Structure 1
């Protein structure tokens, strides 16, 4: 499998964990951050049967641009037969996920290990 080099971005750090690509969002996830993150997110989610974890534990701010990134990743991963897991512990972000209902499509977990311990059949399923 070809591995893209990690992008240079102040809003995204990429690494591997248990055969999954982890996209760790950093700092303020707003429209400017989304512009930086989207090209890499699109490459990763276009891979057939991609196994991805989006980790939001290092964010300080998360607006509707961040929600669009999560939903885009979910749809694209699902369309290519992949799996998407979400890690989030930030109380305000969890509240936004709950209010919008995105938490039902992409259940948040406290750690990558907890997310990957979840049944594969229920992760990021539409």
Structure 2
């Protein structure tokens, strides 16, 4: 899966090494407009400033979950992928329909999740 040329991507991940790994995978898939946020405040600022088309989001951000960010993205028509160590059954019902990347995940799983999020195809 190659990321479309004008597809901005927001990565929301509170673990810097995991964020870097995700960013590297996205770049390897052709992503050129990638913005990384490590907390909810910087994620909200990035949503305002960059208007991405896709968000790859850790469900747990420190003491908080990212449900309000998921809602903010969905309200703007931004495709969301949830990255989590939790299984789908452990996540709120509202996010179970979104592509889930089970941590740790492979390049192929990321590619499938992007296809599912952007085009509704592939297996996430």
Q: How does the TM-score come out when normalised to structure 1?
A: 0.50
Give, in angstroms, the shift of residue 39 of structure 1.
1.3
CA deviations 1:44-65 (Å, max 9, x no partner) are 3334343211256xxxx87872
**Greater share of residues in strand:** 1
Say if 2:57 and 2:83, in contact at 8 Å, map to a contact too: yes
Per the alignment, residue 90 of structure 2 pairs with 96
Query: Helix, strand or coil: the match of 2:81?
Result: strand
Checking the alignment, whether the CA contact within 8 Å between 1:23 and 1:55 is kept in structure 2 is no
Q: 1:118–1:75: structure 2 CA closer, same or farther, 3 Å change rule?
A: same
2:77 counterpart of 1:77: no
Helix, strand or coil at the partner of 2:57: strand
Deviation at 1:119, TM superposition (A): 5.2
In structure 2, what is the Cα distance between the partners aligned to 1:112 and 1:37? 21
Aligned position for 2:45: 43
* 14-23 or 45-54: bigger deviation: 14-23
Distance 1:77 1:102, change over 3 A: same
Aligned pair 1:120/2:118, yes or no? yes
After TM superposition, the runs of 4+ consecutive aligned structure 1 residues lying more than 4 A away are: 61-64
- What's the RMSD between the two structures over aligned residues? 4.0
